[in-house]
Structure 1
Amino acid sequence: MALRHPSRPPAPVYLFGRRVTMRPLAINDFREWSEVRQRNGEWLTVWEPSRFAHQPDPTTDKSAFASRCLQRDRDRAAGTAFQFGLFVDGRVAGEVNLNNVIRGAMQSCTVGYWVDQDHAGNGYTVEGVALVMQFAFEQLGLHRVEICIVPRNQRSRRIMEKLAIREEGVAQRYLEINGTWEDHVRYAMTSEEWHARRSEIVRTWITRTA
């Protein structure tokens, strides 16, 4: 097997759905990504972990965004996380990120996502999550994908309902969100469930139509 040159970044992964394209964000995406994030600040930050005050903000600091992209390249090379920009008509519309990949006996990961408010309600995020789950089960060979959502985040939970992802219960004070330890509803799918429902999910959300 050929060895990867240590200074060479890993090849980006592209995922193609019915209407969306997904790939790792790169430094050249900064201006567009920054505009979307700043415009959606109030829409998004109430559902996200707070940033440490002493850390540069990648939303406004290009060098911080470049460091973010570089770290994500490292994560991808190590196989610990695979983060994707969600593109609609070639423009940044959000992200769907596959994080916390654990191998060994667990073979699991978590998925998180956000979308530009201007694109909400069109099913783009559902399509993106379906693509990432297909990638997790069929290319990474994982056994379990988990998505954890603040109970009152009805828009995000609606995505789980559309994909008919199994709900497992509530984890109390599970993650710090916007400065508060929040309960989270835990959703999950196993590889057995994926393969039982694969044709339905791919046909409904992924396959390109003429």
Structure 2
Amino acid sequence: MTINPRPLARGPRVDLRPFTAADQQEFTALARESRPLHHPWLFPPETPAAYDSYLRRLEEPVREGFLFRAHADGRIVGFLTINNIVHGAFRCGAIGYGAFAHAGGRGLMTEGLRLVLRHAFEEMGLHRLEANIQPANTRSIALVERAGFRLEGLSPDFLFIDGAWRDHERWAITSEMVPEEGAEGAGKA
């Protein structure tokens, strides 16, 4: 397995890294293995061609993509993309993410999301991140709640997913809402 030697950020148990072409085989295998966990919420690339297309889209200036790798074994545990990035007065992006089945329930995505928040707000200069989540996706809602996102409302028929227009709850966090490192709750998984 080829791993990018320099993480963008390092947490106690995971590293934040960009997507690379070298991650294709591992990522697509994990996406196929995790299909039952992801369905019907998201559909990460499961084939080499789909991964290559995904990687090309992440090169667009309105997107950034990140992988979370566990320190313990170097495996990819999850991923997150920031889409629809707008700079200027708005300085906002919308996130999408997923954990892989082998890493679920261990707090690794919570740690990874916190690394992304710091990177997005400090390195990328964003002020706000949004997550649009289907109301029945309780695990995803719990993740953003642990990270400090606030519920801002419901968007009916918001995204076309799995053959239908789906309602989504709108969750958001601004740079001022992120707890300082070491603050109460900052290290909880």
TM-score, normalised by the number of residues in structure 2: 0.85
The 2-side partners of 1:137 and 1:166 are apart by 17
The corresponding residue for 2:173 is 189
Kindly tell me: are residues 120 and 58 of structure 1, through their superposed partners in 2, closer, same or farther at Cα, counting changes over 3 Å? closer
**Whose helix fraction is larger, Structure 1's or Structure 2's?**
1
2:51 to 60, 65, 69: 65
The corresponding residue for 1:126 is 110
8 Å contact 1:97–1:113 — kept in the other structure?
yes
1:166 equivalent in alignment to 2:150:
yes
Where in structure 1 are there 5+ consecutive unaligned residues? 1-11, 50-56
**Partner SS for 1:151:** coil
8 Å contact 2:131–2:170 — kept in the other structure?
yes
The 1-side partners of 2:128 and 2:69 are apart by 26
The corresponding residue for 1:110 is 94
The 2-side partners of 1:201 and 1:186 are apart by 25
Deviation at 1:25, TM superposition (A): 2.1
The corresponding residue for 2:187 is 204
**Partner SS for 1:129:** helix
CA RMSD of aligned residues (A): 2.3
The corresponding residue for 1:5 is none
Deviation at 1:13, TM superposition (A): 6.5
The 1-side partners of 2:57 and 2:184 are apart by 32
Deviation at 1:59, TM superposition (A): 1.5
8 Å contact 2:79–2:97 — kept in the other structure?
yes
The corresponding residue for 2:65 is 83
Kindly tell me: are residues 116 and 183 of structure 1, through their superposed partners in 2, closer, same or farther at Cα, counting changes over 3 Å? same
The 1-side partners of 2:88 and 2:24 are apart by 36
Aligned residues: 181
Q: Percent identity?
A: 31
Deviation at 1:181, TM superposition (A): 1.0
2:20 to 9, 16, 26: 26
Where in structure 2 are there 5+ consecutive unaligned residues? 1-5
The 1-side partners of 2:67 and 2:185 are apart by 20
The 2-side partners of 1:132 and 1:164 are apart by 13
Aligned residue type for 1:97: T
**Partner SS for 1:30:** helix
Kindly tell me: are residues 156 and 201 of structure 1, through their superposed partners in 2, closer, same or farther at Cα, counting changes over 3 Å? farther
Deviation at 1:193, TM superposition (A): 2.1
Deviation at 1:105, TM superposition (A): 2.2
The corresponding residue for 1:53 is none
Deviation at 1:163, TM superposition (A): 2.0
Deviation at 1:198, TM superposition (A): 2.3
Larger Rg: 1
TM-score, normalised by the number of residues in structure 1: 0.77
Kindly tell me: are residues 201 and 35 of structure 1, through their superposed partners in 2, closer, same or farther at Cα, counting changes over 3 Å? farther
8 Å contact 2:57–2:63 — kept in the other structure?
no
